[in-house]
Structure formats: C-alpha cells, structure tokens
Amino acid sequence: MKNSKTVLIDKNPGRNAQTFGIARELKTDLDLIHEPSVGVIGNKGDSQCYIGVEKKVRVIHEALRNKIGKNNDQMQMRLVQPEFTVATSDGIRNGTKEMRYSLIGREVTNDSICEHLSASGLKGTIALVACDKHSCWDPCCNFRA
C-alpha cells in the first residue's frame, strides 16, 4: 500500500470519533489520528505454544506506543490496539478427530490476519507468531511490506 492515508484516514466525523476514542484509550497523541497506522498482532490457542503470547504482544505494544509521538526521535504514526487471531495446536489434537480443525486452522488464521491488515490499512505491523502457524502470516505480512 503506497498511501495508507487512503484507508480510514479522512475527515469524516464518524470515523474521526472512532479514531479519537482509540487514541485516547491508548494514550497516544490525538493529532496523529490521520497519520499512517502501525500495530502489533499475535495468535492464541489451546497449547503451551501460545503461553505468553498475549503478554509479549502487550509489552511490544507498550514499547511501540512509547516510540510514537511528535518529537524528533519518535515516529509520527497512528497506533492501533493489539489484535489476536485464533489457532489450533497440532500437538494436542494429533491423532484425534479434532485434528481436522488444525488442518483448516491455517486458512482461518491467514484469512483473519489478512482481513485485519487490509481493513485497518496498517503501514507497519509487528507479528508475534507461536507454534507452526507462521507460514499463515507470511503472505499477509509480506503483502503489506
């Protein structure tokens, strides 16, 4: 995406209300709501693979939030709230009838991440991926690069 300001970044009062609200909640500069967006995404599931993903995403998000602003040493970008997608672990489901959910899980993971990236118009994304689902994210994240 060459100009991410074309997605959600206009002067429509209804959309501005949403972005003002998010900026206030995330404690970011309200003057940056029309700048290109950046965010952190992760995945969650029923496996030890995913333990700590949410905490790590929150830590990365906070560090990113501290780097966003109008000072010379900061990025002038709009921060979006962290997003997560679902995943199903092969390790727990292997050999069971529920394994079929792990097999289609890659497509579900891919579709949900692509939907979020496309709908949010993110200019930059940090993805924290657990387990074997990283291949689902590659096409989406590379598409956005």
For residue 141, what pLDDT is reported? 52
Q: What is the mean pLDDT of the chain?
A: 82
Can you tell me the distance from the alpha carbon of 77 to that of 97, in angstroms, rounded to the nearest whole number?
Answer: 46
11 versus 85: the higher-pLDDT residue is: 85
pLDDT attached to residue 9: 61
Does the pTM exceed 0.85? no
Residues 107-137 have pLDDT tens digits of: 888 888 888 888 887 888 998 888 765 555 5
Identify the pLDDT of residue 137.
54
Q: What is the mean pLDDT of residues 97-104?
A: 82
The pLDDT value recorded for residue 70 is 95
Q: Which pLDDT tens digit goes with each residue over 136-145?
A: 555 555 444 3
- Tell me if 113 sits within 8 A of 136, measured CB to CB: yes
Strand residue runs (E) in the chain:
37-45, 78-79, 83-87, 122-128
For 130, counting Cβ atoms within 10 Å of its Cβ (0-12 exposed, 13-18 middle, 19+ buried), the class is: buried
Q: Which pLDDT tens digit goes with each residue over 37-47?
A: 999 999 888 88
Cα dihedral 120/122/127/131 (nearest 10): 40
- If residue 117 lies in a helix (H) or strand (E), which one and from where to where? helix 99-120
Query: With contact defined as beta carbons under 8 Å apart, do 90 and 112 qualify?
Result: no
Show the domains of the chain with their CATH numbers: 35-144 (3.40.50)
